[in-house]
Chain A
Amino acid sequence: QKEVEQDPGPLSVPEGAIVSLNCTYSNSAFQYFMWYRQYSRKGPELLMYTYSSGNKEDGRFTAQVDKSSKYISLFIRDSQPSDSATYLCAMRGPNDYKLSFGAGTTVTVRA
């Protein structure tokens, strides 16, 4: 079993829809959670990061963490064609230097 599981999709939605992405993990020590966006043939860019449980909102993006269920989510409101990319979740424990990544979910927003 992988340490971080992420449905690869692909996910296709119409412009303006809400995109819902999620990851599950097995390591209960994970406390720091991140979401990255990666356009084709580019390096990932950090979108959001959260600590422990709870919600965090930044513009059209909302990140949620449910540590009791070992489940994290990213919601994109009012999706735009420019949101079409692969979204990677990443996480680490308090004493880890490395991040554990999900495989990424490919999202297409149709105009």
Chain B
Amino acid sequence: DGGITQSPKYLFRKEGQNVTLSCEQNLNHDAMYWYRQDPGQGLRLIYYSQIVNDFQKGDIAEGYSVSREKKESFPLTVTSAQKNPTAFYLCAVGTGAYNEQFFGPGTRLTVL
């Protein structure tokens, strides 16, 4: 089964905890992205990676960290420094001349 997988689907975090969201792809694409979606707002870019062992901050990177040790995997850690982490998190891969981006099913993070 090909595509982009994100886990878990739902995640609950206590104040002060770090949590890691998983994103895996078997599409063999180099570019991977993390977005955050809040109600009534468009997707906002957190981090992106064009190649293994390299990544860049997006528009709202504060309080987040990533790694890209394998082409297939781009995990996102939401740290305790992120003041308002409750949101829907989407991972995407990019390809093609348009850099069309294809999204995973998302992880909904709730801070208790």
Which of A's residues lie within 8 Å of B, judged by CB?
4, 6, 8, 32, 34, 36, 41-46, 49, 51, 88, 90, 92, 96-104
Q: Which residues of A contact B98 (CB under 8 A)?
A: 32, 34, 49, 51
0 or 1 for each of B1-43: is its CB under 8 Å from A? (1 = yes) = 0001010000000000000000000000001010000001111
Is residue B99 contacting chain A, with contact meaning CB distance below 8 A? yes
Q: Which residues of A contact B31 (CB under 8 A)?
A: 97
Q: Which residues of B contact A88 (CB under 8 A)?
A: 42-43
Which of B's residues lie within 8 Å of A, judged by CB?
4, 6, 31, 33, 40-45, 48, 50, 56, 58-59, 88, 90, 94, 98-106, 108
Judging by beta carbons under 8 Å apart, are B102 and A46 in contact?
Answer: yes
Partner of A97, one of B44, B59, B99, B100: B99
Judging by beta carbons under 8 Å apart, are A99 and B101 in contact?
Answer: yes
- Given contacts A42-B106, A97-B31, A98-B33, A103 and B99 within 8 Å (CB-CB): no
